[in-house]
Amino acid sequence: MSYLRFILMTSLVGFLVQHVTAQEDTTALILDAVNIQGSRLDKFTIGEKVEKISSIHRESTAYSSLSELLFNFSGANIRSYGVSGLSTPSVRGTGSNHTAVFWEGVNLQSPTNGSLDLTLMPVSFVDDVSLQYGGAGSLFGSGTLGGAIHLGTAVAISEGFSGKFFQQLGSFGSTYTGANINWRHQRVRLSLRGFVNHADNDFTYYNRYTVRDEEQKNASIDQQGVLSELYYQLTDNSDITFKYWYQDNLVHIPDPASAGGNTKATQADEFHRVVLKWKNQSANRMLRGQSALVLHHLEYDDKITDVSNTQSLSWISEFEATYKLGKSTWLDAGINNTYDRAEVASYGDEIPLRNQTGLYISSKKLIAEKLEVNLGLRETLSSGDLSPIMPSLGLNYALTNDFSLKSKVARSYRIPTFNDLYWKGAGAMGNPDLEPELGWSAEIGVLSEKEFDRSRLSLEVTGFSNTISQWIQWVEVESVWSPVNVQKIWARGVELGLKYGYQLSDDWKLQTWSNYSLTKSTKQEVGNGGSIQELDKQVTYTPLHQAKAAVNLVHNRFAFGINQIYVGEQYITGDNRRTLDAYVVTGVSASCQFLLSQKHSFKISGQVKNVFDKDYEARNARPMPGRNYHLSIIYQFN
């Protein structure tokens, strides 16, 4: 019966794609008239919260990591092992591997551990960052129980050469050097970006375990990378894009402050990311196809035992058709195939392979010019096993021109990682009988956007509820750690977002942004291998309260900004007996641009992080740096 269901859905998707193709219109596209352009994220996320990081906030953290950008300017909870350590996102009280990260529509989650280290992702390589809240299984597949982070890069817009060179110097031996070069001529666009980053991270901190000031040791990071992009417009209605991202990273991993050791452990990450995209569009339909290859080599060396090597390969291909039916109906259908392979020393002789084929359909309907309805469906065949059907229903009702009600219900899932299934290391053993994690998410909210003579106000309030059953957790049984589907989690809460912009004069404007979240995430059920003492307790490293705010004063050639983050008390043990103190961190940034000529300029910018020299830990026994400074010089030409 399950295979019949998959065959029927395959036939339906095939019919819809064929129908869309057959309806091809060779008329040149007028984007403003029909607005066909846009991704699934743009068009089929009705009723849910999607937060787009502003260009001002991206520029203020341009020479840092994606971890720092999201920590400062998004509603996500960033779980970090220190300034250069592993950093992963947690959205709405879910786990660190429940929020997928997509670059150009390609899922970058590792097939071995299910996560992506945000510390290794340079902000200078992305032009668009959006955070999608809530389950996204029907649109984007496995691993999106909490949400998804979407990254995009853009090629040259203006004719001829343009670009910039930049150099940043900072505290604790920090240097960041790079360049972005763009070229466009008629139908061809080229872009080349590169960077080299180094930081010693040898800051002084107060060690509460030894009760004295100490210097952070073995915490340096070295990175270098290049991103090349080629865009070619085949016809008035079609184009092809090729993008290649290479990066090499070496991170020294310090001991926790509680260890009192002098580790020399390192982790080297090298990856290649290649994507080839094709798009064809007409007045009322769009066809997209893409194929991507992601290669990742990780080498962990603790300088004591043998070196541990991990190599993974993901080949991801997708075809999608979007069609506009009349004036008020949209239809989207597609197929995605993901092939994963990994070679890990701790898997023994096992070289796991996995092939996932996902079919998805989504429709959007505007009713009586006030109610938008979005219905989505996804079915995935993973190495012969069918996932449950992943439905979603989103509603957006416009009460007035500037006030709307929105709601969404969705089902999502996450398949076990290769580590969960095949690990055979000392003192640990994978579990090949694991079941996928399953989740339901629901949200309801209001959005008010008002425009005045010289200002604009946006207020969004959202209540949410997420349940995840069969949550995979590693537990110790008879001195051996093994993953089991041990518990059920219920995460619920309220989010408040406020944006305000005011045009002070022709040259000056004021922009403010703030975000608050209350998140209660507790274990509702504990299965075999779990601890009854953790029942109804808050999930570790999930603050009940989190608030962020930023104020920016912007001129044509000058900018000043201040931002502040409050992270509430967090529990560091499952029984909630031990806590990590709440903390407040403040940052200040400023920049000034000087025109050398009509086409040449340079900019000086500076940052002060942790202005009030707060002594805090983002994770237990993982100290963060005190007050630190960064100065950048940027030369731009066009």
Per-residue pLDDT tens over the stretch 84-104: 899 999 999 999 899 999 999
In whole numbers, what is the pLDDT of the chain averaged over residues?
A: 91
Rg (CA), the chain: 25
**The predicted structure's pLDDT at residue 22:** 46
What are the distances in angstroms from CA 512 to CA 159, 242, 248, 457?
34, 37, 36, 10
Confidence of residue 412 (pLDDT cuts 50, 70, 90): very high
Taking the complete model, does pTM exceed 0.75, yes or no? yes
Q: Please state which of the ranges 12-26, 143-157, 269-283, 421-435 shows the lowest mean pLDDT.
A: 12-26
The mean pLDDT of 621-633, rounded to a whole number, is 96
Instruction: State the DSSP H helix or E strand holding residue 140, giving kind and residue range, or none if neither.
Output: helix 137-140
pLDDT for the residue numbered 2: 53
For residues 401 and 425, the model is more confident at 401
Q: Report yes or no: 155 and 142 within 8 Å, Cβ to Cβ.
A: no
Q: Indicate if the pLDDT at residue 456 is higher than 50.
A: yes
Confidence of residue 387 (pLDDT cuts 50, 70, 90): confident
Task: Give the residue-averaged pLDDT of 602-626.
Answer: 95
Query: For 216-267, how does the pLDDT look when each residue is reduced to its tens digit (9 = 90+)?
Result: 999 999 999 999 999 999 999 999 999 999 999 999 999 999 887 778 899 9
Look at residue 81 in the predicted model and tell me its pLDDT. 93
Q: Is the pLDDT at 34 greater than 50, yes or no?
A: no
What would the mean pLDDT of 158-165 be, rounded to a whole number? 90
Give the model's confidence band at 30: pLDDT under 50 very low, under 70 low, under 90 confident, else very high. Answer: very low
What is the per-residue pLDDT for 101? Answer: 96
Q: Where are the domains of the chain?
A: 2-302+309-637
Q: What is the pLDDT of residue 459?
A: 98
Extract the tokens encoding 485.
Answer: 């589907």
The pLDDT, as a whole number, for residue 253 is 93
Per cent of the chain over pLDDT 70 is: 94
* Choice between 474 and 132, residue whose per-residue pLDDT is larger: 132
Residue 154 has pLDDT above 90, yes or no: no
Length reported for the chain: 638
d(CA 234, CA 217): 54
The pLDDT of residue 26 is above 50: no
Across residues 407-424, what is the average pLDDT? 95
Is 497:512 a contact under the CB 8 Å cutoff? no
Residue range 2-302+309-637, CATH number: 2.40.170.20
State the DSSP string of 534-563. Answer: GTTPBPTT--SEEEEEEEEEE-SSEEEEEE
Mean pLDDT for the stretch of residues 362-381:
95
DSSP readout, 72-93? HHSS-EEEESSTTS-EEEE-TT
Taking the mean position of all CA atoms in its chain, how far away is CA 454?
33
CA angle 152, 153, 155 (to 5 degrees): 145
- 143 pLDDT higher than 80: yes
- Which residues is 526 bridged to in the sheet? 487
pLDDT digits (tens, 9 = 90+) for 216-230: 999 999 999 999 999
Question: So what's the pLDDT on residue 39?
Answer: 78
Show the CA angle centred on residue 538, arms to residues 533 and 539, nearest 5°: 95
pLDDT of 331 over the 70 cut: yes
Measured distance CA(170)–CA(629) in Å, rounded: 5
Token pair belonging to 125: 């390589």
pLDDT band at 9 (very low <50, low <70, confident <90, very high): low
For residue range 500-526, list pLDDT tens digits in order.
Answer: 999 999 999 999 999 999 999 999 987
Residues 268 and 278 sit within 8 Å (Cβ to Cβ)? no
The answer to whether residue 4 scores a pLDDT higher than 90 is no
Q: What is the mean pLDDT of residues 421-428?
A: 88
Band (23; pLDDT cuts 50, 70, 90)? very low
Q: Which of 635, 609, 621, 616 is nearest to 199 (CA)?
A: 609
The pLDDT of residue 155: 77
Least confident of 8-12, 383-387, 517-521: 8-12
